[in-house]
Amino acid sequence: MKISLPLTLISCTLSYLASAAPASVSRVTVAPGGSTLYGITYNPKNSDGSCMSQANVNKDIAKFKQNGIINVRTYAQECNQLEQIVNAIATAGGGMTVVAGVWIDGSEAGYQTEVSTLTKSLSSNSKAKGYVSGVIVGNEVLYDNRMSASALASKIDDVKSKVESYGLLVGTAETPSTFDPAIVSSSDFLVANIHPYFGKVSASSAGANLKAQFMSLKSKLNGKDVIIGETGWPTAGSANGQAVPSVQNLQSFVQQLQCENAGLKYYVFDGYDSPWKPSGNLNVEQHWGLWQADGSSKGINIKVSC
């Protein structure tokens, strides 16, 4: 039976666990940012949800680098994407990192397939050691009630044992309110998905809201490494309080990230629109990309002046 703890108790317990042992520092949390945005999330899929070719992944990774974005976060191992991204980084001349994702859908078979593909990609590609900067096991698993905290912690420990020889540290991604003490204890680092849009704030306040949420969470962890694994702004869909989806508001947030939040380590969600996803309650889930699903421009200026 899963027991829900009051947020105040969770906060106190998180502080205790984080202070009980020295925080580990992984390459993912110390990787330098590029000349524009620190990092970007990436799903190497075509607009119909099918797997991209190596050639198209090469184009995407080259585009990120050309726009000053050198850190990439993934969510899964499907489509042999880690292998493809590592190859694409090498083709682009290196100087980039990728955080490997292990998708947790709640099934043991799915998990074993993900981990097997991860370890195969790490062992078979000699370039992986230079470009893979860490592993994130699951994305909002507790938020979506796909697994208990103790079960997720066991998965984190399992992946840690399998990638230790590669010098990689392992964490998991949740919303700021769903970091259960069990996963905090098991993780080498934490990844917080923070979206001001869902906080119902105006686009002009998004940068300040992001920093406030991040600093509030960080203050409860007493030095445990934490990065922002997702943040962004949708360009279409329904308004959420004062948060209005539009290209203009995404541009405003991109400007704020570079000019007001330059000290934060964050991955902008998302590289491309995702028409293969369900639209979601507010009809925004398909519309978070900096670029259109087909790779064409939305008119977002990535290289802003502060």
Choose the catalytic residue: 83, 114, 174, 230. Answer: 230
Q: What is the end-to-end Cα distance of the chain in Å, rounded? A: 51
Residues forming beta bridges with residue 240, ordered by sequence position: 243
Cβ(240)–Cβ(283) below 8 Å: no
Which residue carries 């990535």 as its tokens? Answer: 302
Q: Is 292 left (phi over 0), alpha (psi -120 to 50) or beta?
A: beta
The residue count of the chain comes to: 306
Active site residue 108: no
Cβ(231)–Cβ(268) below 8 Å: yes
Choose the catalytic residue: 78, 140, 260, 285. Answer: 140
Give me Rg for the CA atoms of the chain: 18
SS3 170: strand
Burial 97-114 (b: 16+ CB within 10 A, else e): bbbbbbbbbeeeeebebb
Active site residue 78: no
Residue 231 per-residue DSSP state: E
Give alpha helix (H) positions in 125-260: 128-131, 149-163, 181-186, 206-219, 247-259
For residue 107 the two structure tokens come to 């099934």
Which residue carries 């976060």 as its tokens? Answer: 73
Catalytic residues: 140, 230
